[in-house]
Amino acid sequence: MAKNLHWLMAVLVLLLFVLGWMATSWPLSPTKLKLFFWHKSLGITVLGLALLRILWRLTHGRPTLPLGMPLWERYTAEASHLLLYGLLLAMPFSGWVINAAANFPLKVFGLFTLPAIVAPDKALQSLAQSIHLTLFWIFLGLLALHIGAALRHHIVLKDSVLLSMLPASRKDKT
Ligand code: HEM
Ligand code: HEM
């Protein structure tokens, strides 16, 4: 469950990066609105999944790290995972603020409309836009570290950290 969620969210986040950039740079047209529609709907989906994932982790614990792993590595792993969880919440929230401050309705997949979390406000809108963009760059940097660390475990340290995340693995700890 936790592993499937991890990979589902990884795919969604990468898709959101692409959709976000495409939607922002697309000339004003029905296509641009569609790109934003999918970006926002999938972004809210990530928010829901992130909350679910955090609840899961709080109730089921986390996978054990390899024995003998240096303390600094444990702390770095723990801190970077917490930051990733933080970003998985902060990205959609800042997006939601942009949307509400710009006075757009937030229709999720056309199924339901979420309430505005702030009142319309141009200054707040541009602040939230800068935050959304800055968080994106931080996210990219952290992901590079995250993927680098996973590959280091697999290639340099030759332990089971990356393998334990693959669907076929039986080491289903969470
Ligand atoms: C947007 C993409 C991604 C996000 C947001 C993300 C987020 C996370 C988070 C929050 C954890 C910690 C799980 C926990 O202990 O609670 C985790 C674990 C892990 N991730 Fe990712 N991840 C992403 C992509 C990837 C990719 C592309 C790889 C592989 C190259 C990867 C490999 C791993 C591995 C091996 C672990 C397990 C670490 C452990 O056993 O403690 N992740 N990921
Ligand atoms: C994990 C979730 C999300 C990720 C990774 C993400 C990522 C991005 C990226 C990469 C961009 C393009 C760069 C930029 O201009 O900021 C962007 C733009 C944007 N996103 Fe998101 N986004 C997420 C969720 C959301 C949600 C839930 C909403 C709205 C409800 C939203 C609304 C917007 C808007 C309005 C823009 C255009 C900002 C502008 O014009 O400057 N995003 N997003």
| Contact (Cβ atoms closer than 8 angstroms) between residue 99 and residue 40 | yes
67 confidence band (pLDDT: 50, 70, 90): confident
The answer to whether residue 174 scores a pLDDT higher than 60 is no
pLDDT at residue number 150:
96
Tokens 């590595």 sit on residue: 73
Which numeric CATH code is attached to 2-165? 1.20.950
Q: Is 13 in the pocket of ligand 1 (CB under 6 A)?
A: yes
Indicate whether 15 pLDDT > 80. Answer: yes
Distance from chain centroid for Cα 108: 17
Rounded Cα–Cα distance for residues 142 and 152 (Å): 15
Ligand nearest the Cα of residue 33 is 2
Every domain of the chain and the residues it spans: 2-165
Q: What is the Cα–Cα distance from 9 to 2, expressed in whole angstroms?
A: 10
Instruction: Tell me: pLDDT of 172 over 70.
Output: no
Nearest CA to 76 out of 20, 16, 152, 136 is that of: 152
Collapsed DSSP state (helix, strand, coil) of residue 59 = helix
How far apart are the CA of 18 and the centre of ligand 2, in A? 10
The pLDDT of residue 64 is: 81
What are the pLDDT digits (tens) for 25-66? Answer: 999 999 999 999 999 999 999 999 999 999 999 998 887 888
pLDDT digits (tens, 9 = 90+) for 122-155: 999 999 999 999 999 999 999 999 999 999 999 9
Q: What are phi and psi of 114, to 5 degrees?
A: -85, 145
The response to whether residue 99 sits with its C-beta less than 6 Å from ligand 2 reads: yes
Residue 5: which of 79, 40, 57, 44 has the closest Cα? 57
171: Cβ below 6 Å to ligand 1?
no
Gap between the Cα atoms of 7 and 10, Å rounded: 5
pLDDT score of 170: 55
Q: How confident is the model at residue 114 (pLDDT cuts 50, 70, 90)?
A: very high
Is ligand 1 within 6 A of the CB of residue 12?
no
Express each pLDDT in 77-104 by its tens digit. 999 999 999 999 999 999 999 999 999 9
Q: Is the pLDDT of residue 76 over 80?
A: yes
- Kindly write down the DSSP assignment for every residue of 81-136, as one continuous string: HHHHHHHHHHHHHHHHHHHHHTT--EEETTTEEEPPSS---HHHHHHHHHHHHHHH
Q: Is 154 helix (H, G, I), strand (E, B) or coil?
A: helix
Q: What does DSSP say about strands 106-108 and 112-114: parallel, antiparallel, or unpaired?
A: antiparallel
